[in-house]
Amino acid sequence: MGIDDITITKTIFNRFTEEFKDFFDIDIAIAGAGPSGLTAARYLAEVGRKVAIFERKLSIGGGMWGGGMMFPVIVVQDEAKHLLEECNIDIRREGRGYWSADSIEAVVKLCSKTIDAGAKIFNGISVEDVLLDKDNRVNGFVINWSSIDVAGLHVDPLTIRAKYCIDATGHAAEICSIVKKKVKPKTGLLSKDIGEFSMHADIGEKAVVENTREVYPG
């Protein structure tokens, strides 16, 4: 059988638009498809929530691919190794309390489990703002194609609605930074300095755990 170019075009267009419009109004919207975003999406999808991740790059996994300084190995502690075991990622004990894993294996298996759980990943889409309701509660994302930002084009974005939104953008805390800048909360975590500080793994990891919570309504 020959290949019909227009059939291919129609198939790509129709399938994407059908799937995309099914995620305009959802339970959970997540910005960032790194390990934290993938894990959050998997847990939420497993309990029946409708979840979409918006990743600005074409690839998922955030910075995990390169491990440390492009050595494709990651290290986790006892408290986190179950997150890898749940995804059938091979881990190796590296002394008391430490475990290592292949970073590439970790990314692909985290992603596979997340998709199998029912979460949807939209790549190449950037979250450039948040959607607010009349009470200034965050209830969605303002999105656009990442290529539009790269090209420097002035193109209006679109919005999706979500009951709850998760910032999984990593060190930059990009969504939280948007809310801090535009909404200017007077109390709570977003009334303080946020973002990336200099290296101190023990303090930094503890701070991530302590601050993984609702930092602003929505």
Whether residue 217 is contained in a domain is answered as: no
Residue indicated by tokens 């290296």: 199
- The answer to the question of residue 4 being in a domain is no
Considering the domain boundaries, does residue 93 fall inside one? yes
Would the pTM count as exceeding 0.85? yes
CA pair distance 7, 5, nearest whole angstrom: 5
CATH code where residue 29 lies: 3.50.50.60
In a domain, 215, yes or no: no
Q: Which of 169, 195, 166, 197 is nearest to 180 (CA)?
A: 195
The domain total for the chain is 1
Provide the pLDDT for residue 112.
98
Q: Is residue 12 part of a domain?
A: no
Give the residue among 26, 6, 2 at the shortest CA–CA distance from 14.
6
Q: For 108-160, what is each residue's pLDDT tens digit?
A: 999 999 999 999 999 999 999 999 999 999 999 999 999 999 999 999 999 99
What's the sign of the alpha-carbon dihedral 84, 85, 89, 95?
positive
> In this structure, is residue 126 part of a structural domain?
yes
Its domain, for residue 48, covers: 18-210
User: Could you report the per-residue pLDDT of 170-187, keeping only the tens digit for each?
Assistant: 988 999 999 999 988 887
- The burial of 89, by beta-carbon neighbours within 10 Å (0-12 exposed, 13-18 middle, 19 or more buried), is given as buried
Q: Please check whether residue 22 lies inside any domain of the structure.
A: yes
